[in-house]
Amino acid sequence: MAGIYIHVPFCRKACHYCDFYFTVSLKYIDDYVEALLAEFLIRKKEGENTPVKTIYLGGGTPSVLEKDHLSRILDQISGVFGIDDGAELTIEANPDDLERPYLIDLRELGFRRLSIGVQSFHQSDLELMNRSHSAEQSSRSILQAKEAGIDNINMDLIYGLPGLSQKGWEKNLKTTMELPVNHISAYHLTYEPRTVFHHWRKKGRLTELPEDTSIEQYMLLREITAVHGFEHYEISNFALPGFRSEHNSTYWSGQAYLGFGPSAHSFMGNERRWNVASLGKYIQNIKDGSPMHESEQLSIADQYNETLITSLRTDRGVDLQIIRERYGEDAKQDLLERATVYIQREEMKREEDILKMTPEGWLRSDLIISNLMIDE
């Protein structure tokens, strides 16, 4: 099996920009773990006859889980599905959770990849976002992770924040380059409905950064990471050679994966499934033996569009021969015809049988990809 994603919905604080499903109440962690272990057993037949190659604990804040919780989760996955000897095990964490004893526990459990939610090295930004850690904790957590023997470290950053100057963003990037990280996930701030930031913007309490400034920050991100040897391999992801995210690459290459926990999504080629986005309902439905998910069957058009959405996010692009083999010669020619205008604008390029976005195209990827997609 390609990969397993586990959604851990607990957070110590509610970040003002986040629209993922989470709860700030930690009192149901034990009940959640019991339900999760049961879900693995319930869905045993969905696993392929090959061991899991990647496991990713996201959230929420998975680092609120204790060593015993994590050990039981991994033991259950191993017993139900099997875990490949060289599997990539990733856990997301906040800097304030990463004291040395916990980091050693993670390493001993087999987590050889750590994704740390730094977001910014400016204390004012962290307070604006309502993050639970300080700027000083960010740097210290990364250094301590390296000292604890975890060599594969990703760091999350956010740009386009209200009031973030080009100089401030440059300082974030230069600080990052001084730390032992080999992967960077850098996201432009989005004002998602039902978030505090969205509400504040509507009320005039926040002013969105001008688009030109956001573009300048994106270009500076590309420039500084390239100078330090990072490959820009997906819209928001940069890696030193050999350190691309194996788990996320399964998403972008269209491989099947299973998602567990409340609100987690699964993808099985022609079916997409998502668990109920409620911790209480998730736990109760598993206890009752009731369905804890909804699903949809993907049409041929859906599958085609899914291929474009995932592959064009990466530097590998979309293989035109695969389009022809799966969807026919007409689909291939239609894609090339639609892409012509973007190739002329140098927002896309064709390299033999590979069609891909340029870095300039990634700036408008949502619009471009939507214009390449087909209807039923």
Q: pLDDT tens digits for 311-359?
A: 999 999 999 999 999 999 999 999 999 999 999 999 999 999 999 999 9
Number of residues written out for the chain: 376
Q: Tell me what the mean pLDDT of segment 77-103 comes to.
A: 97
The answer, yes or no, to whether residue 376 has pLDDT greater than 80, is no
Q: What is the b/e burial string over 244-265, where b = at least 16 CB atoms within 10 angstroms of the residue's CB?
A: bbbbbbbbbebbbbbbbbbbbe
Question: pLDDT tier at 237 (50, 70, 90 boundaries)?
Answer: very high
Fill in the amino acid letter for 161. Answer: L
The answer, yes or no, to whether residue 44 has pLDDT greater than 80, is yes
Cis preceding linkage at 60, omega within 30: yes
Question: pLDDT tier at 264 (50, 70, 90 boundaries)?
Answer: very high
Average pLDDT, the chain: 96
CA–CA separation, 243 and 370 (whole Å): 30
pLDDT of residue 50: 87
DSSP readout, 151-182? Answer: -EEEEEEEES-TT--HHHHHHHHHHHHTS--S
pLDDT of residue 49: 79
Closest CA to 145 of 153, 157, 136: 153
Q: Tell me what the mean pLDDT of segment 69-89 comes to.
A: 97
The answer, yes or no, to whether residue 282 has pLDDT greater than 80, is yes
pTM: 0.96
The answer, yes or no, to whether residue 2 has pLDDT greater than 90, is no
pLDDT of residue 375: 86
φ, ψ dihedrals at 218, nearest 5°: -65, -45
pLDDT of residue 241: 98
CA–CA separation, 264 and 56 (whole Å): 11
pLDDT of residue 24: 96
Q: Tell me what the mean pLDDT of segment 150-157 comes to.
A: 97
Contact (CB, 8 A) for 268 and 256:
yes
Q: Is 275 helix (H, G, I), strand (E, B) or coil?
A: strand
Question: pLDDT tier at 141 (50, 70, 90 boundaries)?
Answer: very high
Contact (CB, 8 A) for 14 and 267:
no
Contact (CB, 8 A) for 323 and 335:
yes
Question: What are the Cα distances from residue 209, in Å, to 160, 165, 188, 206?
Answer: 6, 9, 11, 9
The answer, yes or no, to whether residue 1 has pLDDT greater than 80, is no
pLDDT of residue 98: 97
DSSP readout, 41-80? Answer: HHTGGGS-SS-EEEEEEEES-GGGS-HHHHHHHHHHHHHH
- What pLDDT, in 10s, does the model give residues 284-294? 999 999 999 99
- What pLDDT, in 10s, does the model give residues 20-41? 999 999 999 999 999 999 999 9
Closest CA to 156 of 183, 125, 123, 126: 183
pLDDT of residue 48: 77
